[in-house]
């Protein structure tokens, strides 16, 4: 099993959608610094933020959390 961190998937999905950290933060009602903190592994999104991220990116929570690769 490969090592996985949610921060990598958030950053990867954000870039695939062409979103800046600032724009993603606006969509989530979070600061750009908050999104950067997730991507740097300094903090992790709460359950409500995970739900919103899944909706924005069109992925399942299992994918976002690294439980599946699809």
Tokens of 46: 């709460």
CB atoms within 10 A of CB 68: 11
* Domain carrying residue 57: 6-64
Q: Is residue 18 part of a domain?
A: yes
Calpha distance 47→15 (Å, rounded)? 22
Q: Phi and psi of 50, rounded to 5°?
A: -65, -45
30 occurs within a structural domain: yes
Q: Does residue 22 lie within any of the structural domains? A: yes
pLDDT digits (tens, 9 = 90+) for 33-70: 999 999 999 999 999 999 999 999 999 999 999 899 88
In contact, 52 and 25? CB cutoff 8 Å = no
**Is residue 48 within 8 Å of 28, Cβ to Cβ?**
no
Domain count, the chain: 1
Look at residue 20 and tell me if it is in a domain. Answer: yes
The pLDDT value given to residue 3: 54
- Residue with structure tokens 């069109």? 58
Residue 1: pLDDT band with limits 50, 70, 90:
very low
**Domain with 13 in it: what CATH number?**
1.10.260.40
């Amino acid at each position: 099993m490969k090592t996985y961190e949610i921060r990598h998937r958030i950053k990867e999905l954000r870039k695939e959608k062409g979103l800046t950290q600032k724009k993603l933060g606006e969509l989530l009602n979070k600061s750009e610094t908050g999104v950067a903190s997730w991507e740097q592994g300094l903090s992790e999104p709460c359950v409500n933020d995970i739900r919103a991220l899944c909706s924005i990116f069109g992925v399942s929570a299992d994918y976002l959390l690294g439980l599946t690769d699809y």
